Amino acid sequence: MDCTVSALQKARMAYAPKLPAAFKAGANVACTEGEKLAAFADTEKITAKFPSTSNMPLLTFAPGNGEKIAKPVNVAVILSGGQAPGGHNVIAGLFDGLKSLHPESKLYGFKGGPSGLTDNKYIEITADFLASYRNTGGFDMIGSGRTKLETTEQFEKAEANCKALGITAIVIIGGDDSNTNACLLAEYYKAKNAGIIVVGCPKTIDGDLKNAYIETSFGFDTASKVYSELIGNIERDANSAKKYWHFIKLMGRSASHIALECGLRTHANVTLISEEVEAKKMATDEVVTILADSIAKRAANGDNFGVALIPEGLIEFIPDFKSLIAELNDLLAKEGEAYAALASNDEKASFIASRLSASSAAVFATLPMEIKMQLTMDRDPHGNVQVSRIETEKLLVELVKNKLAAWKKEGRYNGKFSTQTHFFGYEGRCSMPSNFDADYCYSLGYNASSIISTGKTGYMSSVRNLTEPAEKWIAGAIPLTAMMNMERRHGEDKPVIRKALVELDGAPFRELAKNREKWAVETCYVYPGPIQFFGPAEVADITTMTLALEKGK
C-alpha cells in the first residue's frame, strides 16, 4: 500500500476533467473578437493608467482545426493569494493545453507566489511531476504568496528571469488583488514591447471575483460545500444535545457569498449578511438585536439552542466600525512604525485613541483589548485588514449576552444562553476539489493556453454558462482592465479589480430574505453531508445554490 496517497486520492488521480466543446480539437482554437469593453467605473482614470491594455475586445473561442502551432511556447505560472480548491487542476489544464498546442512547449512553476517570479525560484513542471497533483486540493505543488507586484524593479526582475528561460507568457492564478497585479504587469510589458503576455485566472473561495463574464471564481463551490457539511453536522449536534448556541464565523473576507451560500444550504437560524448591514446602515446594537431576537423567540418555544452564521468581514460593514477601520488604515499607513515600536497593549491603545476622530475613538473605547489589538494588526500586502484574525464571533457572543441579560431584567427573555464559537476558513481552502471545481479549474487552465496561442495580453480566462453541462460551457477571455475601478488602499487611491459583493436585489439574497423569519424561530435544518465525487449527477455534479439562483435555475 502507498503510504503517501489515500485511496480516494488515487481514485481521483484517474478522474478526467470535463472540458467545453471549444477544446474538442485541442487548445489551438478559433477566436472571435466581440465588443470592446471599457472599465465599468472610473473609466477615464483607468484608461489613463492602462493606455495599452484598456478598451480591448471580449474574446470567444470555438473549436480549431486541430493543427499544432508553429513553435513551442514556454510559459510561467504562479499561484497567488489564499489557497482555493482546484488550483492544481488549473495548472494541469494549462499544461495539457500547452502540450496540445505544441508537444515541446514547457511550463515553469514559480514558487511561493509572485515573489518566486522576482526571486527566480522555479521548477519545470513535467508530466510525471504533475501526475500526483491532478484533482487534488491545496497549492503545495508550487506554493503561493501575497507579495504585491507593483514596482518597476519587480517587473524588470521578472522579465529578466522569464527571458533567461525563453518564457513568453505568465499565467497568474489569483483573486482580485492578484489579478490587479496581473493587469499592472501586462500593461508594463505591452507598453515596452517586452514580448511577454500576461493572463489571469479567477481564483478565490470568497466568490467575490465575478461579473457577467466570470460567473464564479474557482474554489467557492468546494469551500462552501465543505463548510455546509460542517455546519450541518453542528446543527445536528445542536438539535441532539439542545444546549448550545453555535456562533460560526465563515471566511470570505469582505463579501458574504460564503455565509449566504451556507445559510441557504443549511437553513441556519440566523445568517448575517454584511452587505445588508451596510446598506441599512445598521448600528452594532441592531445586529446584536437580530441575534438576540432569534435566541429569545426560540427560548420561548423551549429551544435554547441554535446556529448563527457570521460573515468574516462583518465588522468592516457596520458603519461605526467601517469609519473606525478606515481611520486606522490611514493612521497605520502613516504612523505604523511608531505604533509598532510601543511595548504594551495599553500604550498602543492610547496611541491609537489619541489620534482618532471623536466618534471613532468612542467606538474604539467600547471594545475589549483583544479586539482593539486585532483591529490594529498589520494589514496584508494589499492594504486589507486581516479579518480572519478578528474574533467577531466572540465579540458578538459577549454583546448578545449583555443584551439578553438586559431583556431578562425586563421580563422579555427567560432562557439559557450557552455558547460555542467556531471559525471555518482554513478547513475548506485546500479540500479535494468538487467535480465542479475539478472541471472548471481544468477548463480555466486549458483556456489560458488558448489565450496564449492568440498572442493577446491583459486578459482573464473566462469560462461561462456554468450551470449547463461542461460540454456547453463557453470559453473565451475578458480584458482585466474591464473589471477595474479606483479604490483607497494604504491611504492612496489605486486602480484595483472591484470585489463583487452580495447584491441585495439578487436572487440568492432574496431567497434567504424570503425564508429567514421562519428559520430564525423553527428548527428546519438541512444536513448537506460531505462532497460526493462519484454517483448520480444530481448528487455529485451539483453546483452552488448561488450560481443556480443567479441563473434562474
Q: Which residues of this protein are in contact with ligand FBP, per CB under 6 A?
A: 81-82, 84, 175, 204-206, 251-253, 312, 387-388, 429
Interatomic CA distance for residues 98 and 103, integer angstroms: 7
- The distance of closest approach from Cβ of residue 343 to ligand FBP in the complex, given in angstroms and rounded to an integer, is 26
Residue nearer to ligand FBP on the CB measure, 312 or 550: 312
CA 168 to each of CA 72, 80, 115, 216: distance values in angstroms, whole numbers, following the listed order: 10, 19, 18, 28
Residue nearer to ligand FBP on the CB measure, 85 or 232: 85
Is 206 among the residues known to form the active site?
yes
The C-alpha cell that represents 495 in the structure block: 486602480
- The distance of closest approach from Cβ of residue 370 to ligand FBP in the complex, given in angstroms and rounded to an integer, is 18
Cβ neighbours around 357 below 10 Å, total: 11
Interatomic CA distance for residues 164 and 281, integer angstroms: 54
Residue nearer to ligand FBP on the CB measure, 204 or 453: 204
**Do residues 181 and 154 touch, judged by C-beta distance below 8 A?**
no
- The distance of closest approach from Cβ of residue 250 to ligand FBP in the complex, given in angstroms and rounded to an integer, is 9
Residue nearer to ligand FBP on the CB measure, 423 or 473: 423
Residue nearer to ligand FBP on the CB measure, 298 or 498: 498
The residues near 433 (Cβ < 8 Å, ≥ 6 apart) are 85, 86, 89, 135, 136, 137, 218, 219, 222, 441
Phi and psi angles of residue 421, each rounded to the nearest 5 degrees, phi first:
-115, 150
Indicate the helix (H) or strand (E) that contains 333.
Answer: helix 319-340
Residue nearer to ligand FBP on the CB measure, 48 or 377: 377
Interatomic CA distance for residues 139 and 112, integer angstroms: 9
Interatomic CA distance for residues 66 and 174, integer angstroms: 30
Cβ neighbours around 178 below 10 Å, total: 32
The residues near 303 (Cβ < 8 Å, ≥ 6 apart) are 242, 523
**Do residues 107 and 91 touch, judged by C-beta distance below 8 A?**
yes
289 SS3 class: helix
Show the DSSP H helices in 342-391 as ranges. Answer: 345-355, 358-365, 369-375
- The distance of closest approach from Cβ of residue 389 to ligand FBP in the complex, given in angstroms and rounded to an integer, is 7
* Burial class (CB within 10 angstroms; exposed 0-12, middle 13-18, buried 19+) of 189: buried
Which residues, in sequence order, are bridge partners of residue 495?
Answer: 486
Residue in 206, 208, 320, 439 annotated catalytic: 206
**Do residues 264 and 543 touch, judged by C-beta distance below 8 A?**
no
Q: What is the distance of C-alpha 103 from the center of its chain?
A: 34
- The distance of closest approach from Cβ of residue 390 to ligand FBP in the complex, given in angstroms and rounded to an integer, is 10
Phi and psi angles of residue 367, each rounded to the nearest 5 degrees, phi first:
-90, 145
Torsion angle, alpha carbons of 282, 284, 288, 293, to 10: -30
- The distance of closest approach from Cβ of residue 512 to ligand FBP in the complex, given in angstroms and rounded to an integer, is 20
- The distance of closest approach from Cβ of residue 386 to ligand FBP in the complex, given in angstroms and rounded to an integer, is 7
The C-alpha cell that represents 528 in the structure block: 448537506
Interatomic CA distance for residues 82 and 80, integer angstroms: 7
- The distance of closest approach from Cβ of residue 50 to ligand FBP in the complex, given in angstroms and rounded to an integer, is 22
- The distance of closest approach from Cβ of residue 503 to ligand FBP in the complex, given in angstroms and rounded to an integer, is 19
Query: Which residues participate in catalysis according to the annotation?
Result: 206
